[in-house]
């Protein structure tokens, strides 16, 4: 009792001391693998654990299945460190070995986990031997024949072990190997290798149930430079193509007619409706071509109808430009159709307009009017007044007090004659005046009179129709604005007018072009309303072109060209009339190509 107690205490003290000294029992070893190279012997390897700081010995113990007899490893040396080699006598197949490794040192021992091993299933042969590769030259081209021998230890002769072989080939630069299975044979022919390159070859083997061996050392083989003569391939290709050619020829022969039709199509005969071949042959060309004439071509369009929006101009010889007395009103009345408010014949539809003008005119300074009168335009004012008076009672439309534009119409006599001939004429005319004293947009305060002097001449010569004012006679003062017209001089002076806009009632709102007070925004308007001179025809007719929208402007006599254009590009009829005395001045072109003519701006 005392002894055992003393022993225990001693052990305890030793342990404490050893722990203080840093030594301990060994760590647990571990069996890593067991392998048999030929199914007759086998070897097991283990991995030692920590040795605990003290010299440790390892021992392997095993026992067979269903037997309790424990044996120790017969051979620790042959297979190297930490291994156990079982020789033939100690190896039994189809029997389970239960193997453990024990590590022992001064302080204790440690036992590994047991491992069950059946030798029949742990076979891993050695590598094949004597791998040789030779280049064999054949008709089809050279190939490589790789041959080898079985590993020395494996006994395949007695059939105890059956080995399957595998080889792999690659070029030096390739990443991937190309593998071939050779089965049980000990040679292999590798075809289709690249010429003039060096190849690497390796071989390995495996038993029918077991593990693959390691790859052999690399064997190098160099393929010679050769040109692949694939004769057989060419022969096949030739035969095939000949065959195809024969077939094609035969097919073409059979389908002779349709091929001819395809390659040389017949020239089609004439297929004109109404065309009589016989008649042509007989030589009566007149009759032949008569039948081709299509009635109604080219289509004649009534251009006049397209210009309905324009104001009508009446070229009435008897009518004076200057509104004398009451003629104007009468003429105006005459010329207008009472119910036609939208026809653009607003110039004559202008009782109210006249009225307005009268009103406005009266408001203006008297000086201008005097000026007019100086030019012999006294009738203007008087006309106006008369007009106004005449109109006043019967102008319901003036009630709103809005200023309406007074379209002044004039045009060259000839075209007007022409148009006079037809009753309903779309008309365009320039609207020189701008008067819209109620409109905020209207800035200009100028008066403008154009061609004061010329008017009477013109009148004398051309006999302006009624309802026409000379272009220069827009002389209305804006409400409250009494600035003198710049450039207005007793002598001939020209003012340029731009049509500012057309209000919904088909009235043109004009504005003098050279207005220095014009606001910048007016330039926008200017841009819309000005038209560039396109050309001047022989009749002293200006062809204007709308600047911004690239409208084509054509003179009236050539209306056909323009009117056939698309609606977005309407023609703006030229209104300018000029005679020999006028043209140069009348066509005073401004710097930017604008003409001082009055241009009708239809409001689209």
Query: Which residues are near other proteins by CB under 8 A?
Result: 39-40, 66, 88, 91-96, 98, 113-114, 116, 118, 120, 155-160, 162, 184, 208-209
**H or E segment to which residue 542 belongs:** strand 542-546
Cβ atoms within 10 Å of 423's Cβ, excluding its own: 8
Long-range residue pairs from 416-424, CB within 8 A, at least 24 positions apart, any chain: 416/313, 416/314, 416/315, 416/465, 417/315, 418/315, 418/556, 418/557, 419/304, 419/313, 419/315, 419/556, 420/314, 420/315, 420/316, 422/304, 424/304, 424/312
The whole-angstrom separation of Cα 407 and Cα 311 is: 9
Compute the least distance from the CB of residue 113 to other proteins, in Å.
Answer: 8
Compute the least distance from the CB of residue 109 to other proteins, in Å.
Answer: 21
Q: Confirm if 224 and 135 have CB atoms less than 8 A apart.
A: yes
Compute the least distance from the CB of residue 41 to other proteins, in Å.
Answer: 10
Nearer to other proteins, 212 or 303 (CB): 212
DSSP code of residue 6: H
Nearer to other proteins, 207 or 415 (CB): 207
**How crowded is the C-beta side of 401, counted as CA atoms within 13 Å?**
4
The whole-angstrom separation of Cα 28 and Cα 568 is: 101
Nearer to other proteins, 208 or 276 (CB): 208
Nearer to other proteins, 170 or 206 (CB): 206
Long-range residue pairs from 375-381, CB within 8 A, at least 24 positions apart, any chain: 375/452, 375/453, 375/455, 375/456, 376/456, 377/322, 377/452, 377/455, 377/473, 379/322, 379/323, 379/324, 379/325, 380/322, 380/323, 380/473, 380/475
Compute the least distance from the CB of residue 183 to other proteins, in Å.
Answer: 10
563 burial level (CB within 10 Å; 0-12, 13-18, 19+): buried
Compute the least distance from the CB of residue 166 to other proteins, in Å.
Answer: 18
Three-state DSSP class for 310? coil
Nearer to other proteins, 23 or 93 (CB): 93
Q: Confirm if 578 and 538 have CB atoms less than 8 A apart.
A: no
Compute the least distance from the CB of residue 34 to other proteins, in Å.
Answer: 14
Nearer to other proteins, 66 or 566 (CB): 66
Nearer to other proteins, 99 or 553 (CB): 99
Nearer to other proteins, 159 or 269 (CB): 159
Nearer to other proteins, 69 or 491 (CB): 69
Compute the least distance from the CB of residue 46 to other proteins, in Å.
Answer: 17
How big is the chain, counted in residues?
604
**How crowded is the C-beta side of 210, counted as CA atoms within 13 Å?**
27
Compute the least distance from the CB of residue 132 to other proteins, in Å.
Answer: 22
Compute the least distance from the CB of residue 238 to other proteins, in Å.
Answer: 42
């Amino acid at each position: 009792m005392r002894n055992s107690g003393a022993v225990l205490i001693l052990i305890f003290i030793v342990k404490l001391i050893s722990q203080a000294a840093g030594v301990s029992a060994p760590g647990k070893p571990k069996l890593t693998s067991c392998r048999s190279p030929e199914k007759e012997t086998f070897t097991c390897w283990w991995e030692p654990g920590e040795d605990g700081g003290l010299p440790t010995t390892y021992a392997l113990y095993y026992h067979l299945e269903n037997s309790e007899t424990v044996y120790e490893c017969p051979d620790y040396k042959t297979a190297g460190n930490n291994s156990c080699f079982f020789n033939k006598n100690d190896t039994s197949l189809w029997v389970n070995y239960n193997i453990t490794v024990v590590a022992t040192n001064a302080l204790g021992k440690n036992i590994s986990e047991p491992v069950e091993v059946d030798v029949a299933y742990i076979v891993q042969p050695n590598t094949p031997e004597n791998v040789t590769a030779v280049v064999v030259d054949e008709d089809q081209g050279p190939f490589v024949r790789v041959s080898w021998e079985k590993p020395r230890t494996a006994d395949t002769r007695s059939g105890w072990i059956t080995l399957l072989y595998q080889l792999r080939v690659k070029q030096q630069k390739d990443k991937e190997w190309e593998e071939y299975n050779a089965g049980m044979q000990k040679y292999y022919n590798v075809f289709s290798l690249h010429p003039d390159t060096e190849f690497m070859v390796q071989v390995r083997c495996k038993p029918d149930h077991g593990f693959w061996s390691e790859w052999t050392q690399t064997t190098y083989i160099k393929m010679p430079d050769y040109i692949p003569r694939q004769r057989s391939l060419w022969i096949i290709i030739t035969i095939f193509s000949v065959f195809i050619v024969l077939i094609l020829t035969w097919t073409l022969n059979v389908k002779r007619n349709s091929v001819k039709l395809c390659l040389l199509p017949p020239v089609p005969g004439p297929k004109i409706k109404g065309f009589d071949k016989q008649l042509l042959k007989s030589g009566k060309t007149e009759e032949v071509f008569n039948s081709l004439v299509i009635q109604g071509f080219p289509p004649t369009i009534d251009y006049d109808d397209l210009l309905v929006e324009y104001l009508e101009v009446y070229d009435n010889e008897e009518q004076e430009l200057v509104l004398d007395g009451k003629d104007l009103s009468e003429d105006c009345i005459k010329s207008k159709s009472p119910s036609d408010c939208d026809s653009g014949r607003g110039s004559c539809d202008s009782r109210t307009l006249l009225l307005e003008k009268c009103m406005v005119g009266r408001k203006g300074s008297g000086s201008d009017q005097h000026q007019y009168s100086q030019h012999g335009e006294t009738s203007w004012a008087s006309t106006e007044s008369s007009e106004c008076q005449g109109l006043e009672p019967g102008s319901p439309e003036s009630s709103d007090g809005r200023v309406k534009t007074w379209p002044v119409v004039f045009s060259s006599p000839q075209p007007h004659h022409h148009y006079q001939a037809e009753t309903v004429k779309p008309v365009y005319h320039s609207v020189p005046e701008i008067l819209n004293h109620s409109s905020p947009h209207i800035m200009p305060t100028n008066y403008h009179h154009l061609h004061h002097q010329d008017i009477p001449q013109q009148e004398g010569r051309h006999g302006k129709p009624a309802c026409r004012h000379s272009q220069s006679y827009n002389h209305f003062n804006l409400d409250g604005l009494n600035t003198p017209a710049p450039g207005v001089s007793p002598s001939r002076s020209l003012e340029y007018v731009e049509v500012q806009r057309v209000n919904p009632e088909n009235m043109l709102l004009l504005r003098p072009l050279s207005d220095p007070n014009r606001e910048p925004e007016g330039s926008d308007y200017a841009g819309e309303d000005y038209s560039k001179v396109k050309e001047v025809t022989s009749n002293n007719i200006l062809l204007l072109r709308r600047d911004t929208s690239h409208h084509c402007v054509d003179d009236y006599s050539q209306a056909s060209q323009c009117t056939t254009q698309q609606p977005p590009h309407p023609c703006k009829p030229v209104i300018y009339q000029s005679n020999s005395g006028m043209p140069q001045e009348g066509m005073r072109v401004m710097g930017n190509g604008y003409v001082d003519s009055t241009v009708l701006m239809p409001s689209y």
